[in-house]
Amino acid sequence: MRYRITLILFIVSAILCIWIYSLEKGGRGQKNPASETSGLFGPDILLADRLELRGPALGEGQERVLKKKGSDQWFIEKPMNWPANYYIVNQILNQIQFLPKEYSFTVESILKVGKTLTDYGLQEPRLELTLGWEDMERSVSFGLPSEMGGRTYLLGPDRQNIYAVSQQLENSLLQGLEFWQSPEIFTLPVIEVSSMSLDINDDGNLTKIRLEKTGDDWKLEAPIKAPADSHLVNERINALQGVKALGFLSGKAKQEAEEALLKPLIRITLSGASQGQTLELAETLEDSNPFLCARFDSYPTTYFLVSAEPFRNLRRAQTFFRQKKFTDFSIQQVSSVRIEGSNKQVNLQKLERGDWQVQEPGETRW
């Protein structure tokens, strides 16, 4: 009897194993959208030229529209105008392309058991993602967290299938606006900068300063013509190219910055052969604040903060950039020095080996 029970259990176990294997094999052979490596949006996701986010999860007035211009530039058009961080956008697109889908079921199947999209938070989704390719677009909706931890219900672009996907993508999409923004301001390559103009407001008195580059040398052209210290000018232009937006202003802070920039403290324009870029700066209401509020001419409705350090000394640029040296020659080419007083003269002669010696008047030494 004992051996008969053991045999029966063995046969049942074998049948169960064969049944499970057949189910898995059938699942692998079925063309389920949830298992396609091309993802929910298809294989051409990196060719998308528009990305839109909307929904209550973003917060009021935080709908986001990003558009691609050219081959490698993305721009934020809503809720503000500013260049997007190209690498961050590409990172998001890659996340979408290779989005892991744990399991899926059809909308029809949940309706048959008496459930609706509302039960999964998909009737009025908390977040919608739309990708566009010229005149075509596809959208997915994010709903409630699933019973499986770390996953969210997602209504596919065909609106017929519901997926359980990792919350990693949703968390990335819900990052603050600064996550999407490029921090760079001046984008004109340093090597192309051929002139720098400064408008400086000194207690209501406006001083205009212009520097121009000829060959490798910089010269002051206004308000006076004079040689400039090319090393200092190049050093400051490099510093300006490294200035980054540290925070973007909204609400009351934006209104205060807008009012302050009606009469900017400093207006800086860097120009090249084909374009120029202008940054306007004003002090914040807090005198001890190490930041300046700013506006860039390409995005005149966007206000932001920058560090005050790179703009140090610019209010006295006329004297700061002026060449302090009164001689212009190569030290290596000097072979003799004569120093004269009222009743005395001293001559210094450079020897062939590089040493210097005092030479008496009329004396020649080698």
Confidence at residue 280, expressed as pLDDT on a 0 to 100 scale = 96
Per-residue pLDDT band at 9 (split at 50, 70, 90): low
Is pLDDT above 50 for 366?
no
How is residue 174 written in tokens? 């819900």
DSSP string over 169-222: HHHHHTS-HHHHB--B---S-GGG--EEEEEEEETTEEEEEEEEEETTEEEEEE
Alpha-carbon distances of 248 from 160, 187, 289, 296, rounded to whole Å: 40, 18, 16, 12
Question: Which of 211-225, 226-240, 319-333, 338-352 shows the lowest per-residue confidence on average (mean pLDDT)?
Answer: 319-333
What pLDDT is stored for residue 329 in this prediction? 62
Strand order in the sheet with 291-296: 226-227, 217-222, 205-214, 195-202, 266-271, 276-283, 291-296, 299-307, 247-248
Q: Tokens for 218?
A: 């910089």
Quote the pLDDT of residue 338.
82
3-state SS class at 1? coil
Which CA distances in Å does 297 have to 186, 243, 269, 277?
10, 15, 10, 7
Which of 147-151, 158-162, 180-184 shows the lowest per-residue confidence on average (mean pLDDT)? 147-151
Q: How far is CA 323 from the centre of its chain?
A: 36
Distance CA 154, CA 159 (A): 10
Q: Does the model's pTM come out above 0.85? A: no
Q: What residue segments make up the domains of the chain, in order of their start?
A: 32-180, 190-320, 329-366
Radius of gyration of the chain (CA): 35
Q: What is the pLDDT of residues 100-113, one digit of tens each?
A: 666 788 899 989 98
pLDDT at 349 over 50: yes
Higher-confidence position of 149 and 268: 268
Q: What is the mean pLDDT of the chain?
A: 82
Mean pLDDT of 2-18: 57
In tens, the pLDDT along 283-303 reads 876 655 789 999 999 999 999
pLDDT at position 322: 75
- pLDDT > 80? residue 219: yes
Evaluate whether 66 touches 76 at the Cβ level (below 8 Å): yes
Of 45 and 16, which is predicted with more confidence? 45
* CB distance 302 to 286 below 8 Å: no
**What are the backbone angles phi and psi of residue 196, rounded to the nearest 5°?**
-135, 125
Average pLDDT over residues 2-27: 52
- Decide the pairing of beta strands 151-155 and 217-222: unpaired
